[in-house]
Chains A and B, each alone.
Chain A
Amino acid sequence: MAESEFIRRTGGEDWVPYWAAARAHELRFQRCLDCGAWRHPPGPLCPQCRSSRSEWAKASGRARLLSWVVVHPPVLPAWKDRVPYPVVLVACDEGVRTIGGILGIGAEALRMDMPLVVDFAPSPDGDLVPHWRPA
């Protein structure tokens, strides 16, 4: 498997709209067209009502910080020049959680439950992916 494929491997077909939206500077999550429940990570059925009908709805982009790590070596070659780098887990206002990078603040200043807003920045392969910054 080529290095670039490893970077881009992101959970399979269900995830394609998530990454496509990010390239267009949008945060979108899957939402059930029948009961309206948001879900993420995405999947073929709504776990609330079992409907297979869904849309990719635009999210508010607001979240709070649930946890974070700071990655130190050893890492994959694509990230070698970035270490140490933080990765955050956020709880979005829609009730779903997702992982992202953090912008505009050093890891040492992060605080549990601080409010964040979405932004977009490139992953090592140049594609825009969702990141977060202090609200």
Chain B
Amino acid sequence: MSLRDRAAIVGIGQLPFSKNIGRPEEVTALEAALLALDDAGLRPSDIDGMTKWSIQPTSENVIARNLGVPNLRFFGEVGYGGGGGCGVVGHAAAAIAAGMARCVLLYRSRNRGSGGRPWAGTSRERDNIAAETNETALFSPYGFVRPVDQVAMFARRFLHERGYTTRHLGWIAAACRRHAANNPVAMMREPITVEDHERSRFISDPLRLLDCCLETDGAAAVIVAAADMARDLRQKPAYIMAASQGMGPRNWIMNNFFKDPFLESPGAYAARDLWRMAGVGPKDVHVAQLYDAFTPLVLGSLEEYGFCAPGEAGAFVEDHGLEVGGRLPTNTSGGSLSEAYVHGINLIIEAARQIRGTSVNQVAGAKLSLVTSGNMVPTGALLLRGD
């Protein structure tokens, strides 16, 4: 048994992204859920399951009781922050395929733009980090605690072994920004060049400001429904052709430096299972949303999901390969780097828009749409299919 094509994304909703949304995460999650229900043409009483990111502070019972959902017969969550998003959708599809739910709501609301970061002189999220896991701050005596430091440590070795340069990272940032320029809700729309990237200040050398995603207040929701239900709803279904997760050996969150091969990410494992379930390969994909909390993650995903051989991702991005019109239009709403950073739920929504034909950077005739989650942590991937 497989979950292939048994469920579809039928509803999407997101609030305008900002630096200060002005309302609690509980309220914005509810607002996003209402938008997704309206988009799908569903009522709260149609919802019988919920899945979420485990670091989402608003739990399912809060959402359910406020929406007036009479019963949830399936609920669950996926950990690992930005590694979790595709798994959150995948678990919804798995529950539907197993007959445990018919219509699953998932949501992510996050006040990170206004809520502050510990290294920005604010304290609120410091406690959240402590609650998430010790693993993210294994090396705090060295001042080695920020996600950007942990990615930079991986990235320097990765660039060195593959023969990539920081200019290749700049091409990724520029491609995302080019797409964001057409997206009225993207947080950063001013076009940038590779030279702008190379001039931006270091945050954690070799990574610069323009290698980093955007601290955002945002809220979004997605509804996944059984395929037979999806056909009768308001929107064109984005069928979940395949969903996978991967962790790999000896995993440590963000500080994932202790496994072998050193450069292999959990994405390599998620990729293998995704293509196996889908029965298609990277050559068949029309558009991709590759998790981009930091630019080096995209280079790794191009290799690990099989879009190019190890060492060839630099030429791929330099050749405008990520842009609409290129070999693999990627992060077509601007991604985490230029649209908003909400642990990848915006990437999932954009992947569904590409299947619907409603992206601001629509890839003509897109029928297979890939999404990946963060690959410095246990990760996942989704392949969406149109009719």
Q: Which A residues lie at the B interface, using CB under 8 A? A: 1, 6-12, 15, 19, 40-41, 47, 66-72, 74-79, 82, 84-85, 87, 89, 96-97, 99-101, 107, 112, 123-125, 127, 129
Query: How far does the Cβ of A12 sit from chain B's closest Cβ, in whole Å?
Result: 5
Instruction: Verify if B191 is at the interface (C-beta below 8 Å from A).
Output: no
Say yes or no: A129 contacts B252, CB within 8 Å: no
Taking a contact as CB atoms closer than 8 A, the residue among B120, B140, B146, B203 that contacts A7 in the complex is: B140
Check: B144 CB closer than 8 A to any chain A CB. Answer: yes
Given contacts A6-B118, A99-B139, contact A72 B156 (CB under 8 A): no
Number of inter-chain CB pairs below 8 Å = 115
- The residue of chain B having its C-beta at the shortest distance from the C-beta of A96 within the complex is B258
Q: Which residue of A8, A15, A47, A68 is within 8 Å of B156 (Cβ)?
A: A68
* Partner of B137 from A9, A66, A82, A124 at Cβ < 8 Å: A9
For the complex of A and B, 3 pairs with smallest distance between CB atoms: A70-B205, A123-B141, A79-B143
Encoded as 1 (CB less than 8 Å from any A CB) or 0, chain B from 97 to 118 comes to 0000000000000000000011
Known: A7-B140, A125-B141; 15 extra A-B contacts, CB below 8 A, are: A6-B137, A10-B138, A10-B139, A15-B138, A41-B138, A67-B157, A68-B156, A70-B202, A74-B121, A76-B119, A85-B143, A97-B257, A99-B138, A123-B141, A123-B142
Q: Which of the residues B149, B201, B252, B258 comes within 8 Å of A69, measured between beta carbons?
A: B149
Decide: A87 near B153, CB < 8 A? Known: A1-B127, A97-B258. yes
A27 CA to B157 CA, complexed, in Å: 25
Q: State which residues 191-222 of B face A: CB under 8 Å.
A: 201-207
- Asked if B258 and A40 make an inter-chain contact with CB atoms under 8 angstroms apart, the answer reads yes
Whole-angstrom CA separation of A11 from B133 in the bound complex: 9
Nearest chain A CB to B250 CB, angstrom units: 7
Q: Which positions 1-46 of chain B face chain A at CB distance < 8 Å?
A: none
**CB neighbours of A67 from chain B (8 A):** 153-154, 156-157, 160
C-alpha spacing A23/B202, complex, angstroms: 33
Measured between beta carbons, the chain B residues less than 8 angstroms from A79 are: 143
Could you say which residues of chain A place their CB within 8 Å of the CB of B165? none
Chain B residues within 8 Å of chain A by Cβ, number: 40
User: Shortest Cβ distance from B103 into chain A, in angstroms?
Assistant: 40
Once bound together, how far apart are the Cα atoms of A46 and B67, in whole Å? 48
Which residues from B are CB-within-8-Å of A101? Answer: 142
B152 on interface, CB distance cutoff 8 Å = yes
CB-CB contacts below 8 Å: B116-139 with A: 117-121, 126-127, 130, 134-135, 137-139
Whether A77 contacts B121 by the Cβ 8 Å rule is yes
Give the shortest distance, in Å, between A2 (CB) and chain B (any CB): 10
Q: A41: which B residues are within 8 A, CB to CB?
A: 138, 252, 258
Whether the pair B257, A89 counts as a contact (CB closer than 8 A) is: yes
B144 touches A99 (CB 8 A): yes
CB distance from B117 to the nearest CB of A (A): 8
Please name all residues of chain B whose beta carbon is closer than 8 Å to the beta carbon of A124 when the two chains form the complex. Answer: 143
**Could you tell me if B134 and A74 are in contact, using CB atoms closer than 8 angstroms?**
no
CA distance A124 to B142 in the complex (A): 8
Residues in B neighbouring A84, C-beta threshold 8 A: 202, 205
Q: Are A11 and B201 in contact (CB under 8 A)?
A: no
Which residues of chain B from 294 to 314 have any CB-CB distance to chain A below 8 Å in the complex?
none
In-complex Cβ contact of B205 among A7, A72, A96 (8 A): A72
Tell whether, in the assembled complex, residue A87 and residue B143 are in contact, meaning their CB atoms are under 8 Å apart.
Answer: yes
Instruction: Report whether B140 and A9 are in contact in the complex, using a CB–CB cutoff of 8 Å.
Output: yes
Whether the Cβ atoms of A7 and B141 lie closer than 8 Å is yes
17 contacts between A and B (CB under 8 A): A6-B140, A9-B140, A11-B135, A67-B156, A69-B149, A69-B152, A69-B204, A70-B204, A74-B117, A75-B119, A76-B119, A78-B143, A79-B143, A87-B149, A97-B258, A99-B139, A123-B142
Q: Which residues of chain B come closer than 8 Å to A97, judged between CB atoms?
A: 257-258
Asked if A75 and B140 sit within 8 Å, CB to CB, the answer is no
Q: Within 8 Å CB of B143, what residues of A? A: 71, 75-76, 78-79, 82, 85, 87, 124
Residues of A within 8 A of B201 (CB): 72
Complex: A12 Cα to B130 Cα, angstroms: 11
Residue of A41, A101, A124 with most chain B CB atoms under a 10 A cut-off: A41
Say yes or no: A129-B142 contact (C-beta < 8 A), given A1-B127, A67-B156.
yes
The answer to whether residues A10 and B141 also contact, given A40-B258, A47-B250 and a CB cut-off of 8 A, is: yes
Name the residue on A nearest B158 (C-beta). Answer: A67
